[in-house]
Structure 1
Amino acid sequence: MTTMPGLSYALSEESAIHHLITLPLPDSADLFELADACAAFVCVLVETDDAETHATLCERLQHALNRLRTLCDTELPPHLIAQLIEGERVTSYVPDCWQETALQVDYALALTRAIQGRTLPPNVAKDLTGLLHDMVWLLAEFVKEPYITAH
């Protein structure tokens, strides 16, 4: 890997965060793309201490989760079905009681709203942000788990 002279790690990180919070999600984003975007948001959210960045990431995450929730109630497009068929079926890491994608999204949305409210003690907010991170990552992996059997 090569590095660019004069480009510091902090500047690169700052640029990546700026890109993440300013780049709009395409209207055409599918279930997988939205799940990946949510995972990217929480990955940065769990690491940020800046109040403004935190608030912006929570807003972006809530927007993406709401769009993801809408897609939970629609038919999967053929290209996603093909990806779900192609993969080798694996045992899910998601407990049986959470096998409903919409339920997982609803839980993540509730956590996001709780964190956004900024009424929690800092240690509770930090713990819930960590829980949100783990739930969204689990959700992002879950929606891409091969589960459809080819006919």
Structure 2
Amino acid sequence: MTTTLSFSHSLFTTPFDHNTDFTDLADNCAQFVDALVECDDPAEKMALCGRLSACLALLQPTLLEPVPEHLKASLTVDDLPLEQPVFEPAADQLGRFCQLLTQLMLNQSLSKNDERVAGDLLQELVGFYSDTLKAPRWLCTDEGVVLL
């Protein structure tokens, strides 16, 4: 189902700046990209890309800063969570990611800095892709061979 947004939609007016907590910036990024992949309107896509880019740019420098005191309680748990964030794309999707990055680098349309970042990402993704494709899929047990 395609998400229909309008420029009055709250995602286009959500306030954020360099004082916004990194947790809120991360939430904003997730909301922007979720709407972006469902959006069909070119102008709205551009606006969402701009919002996402701005939010990512504000988020990046916060990664090396200490966690603010007022956020520590919300990031503290008594028990380990049952689920951890993981990156588990399907093999065909991962292959498409690698191919897209390769094509971007072949087009030579990226700045030197962006080309370096894309190259680093491509290296990580291709390594992960290769390891995923070569990973064991079955285990020999006393009961026979079982699927992992």
Given the two structures, how large is their TM-score scaled by the length of structure 2?
Answer: 0.49
* Higher helix proportion: 1
Which structure carries more relative contact order (alpha carbon 8 Å, separation 6+)?
Answer: 1
Report which of the two structures shows the higher radius of gyration computed on alpha carbons.
Answer: 2
* Higher strand proportion: 2
Given the two structures, how large is their TM-score scaled by the length of structure 1?
Answer: 0.48
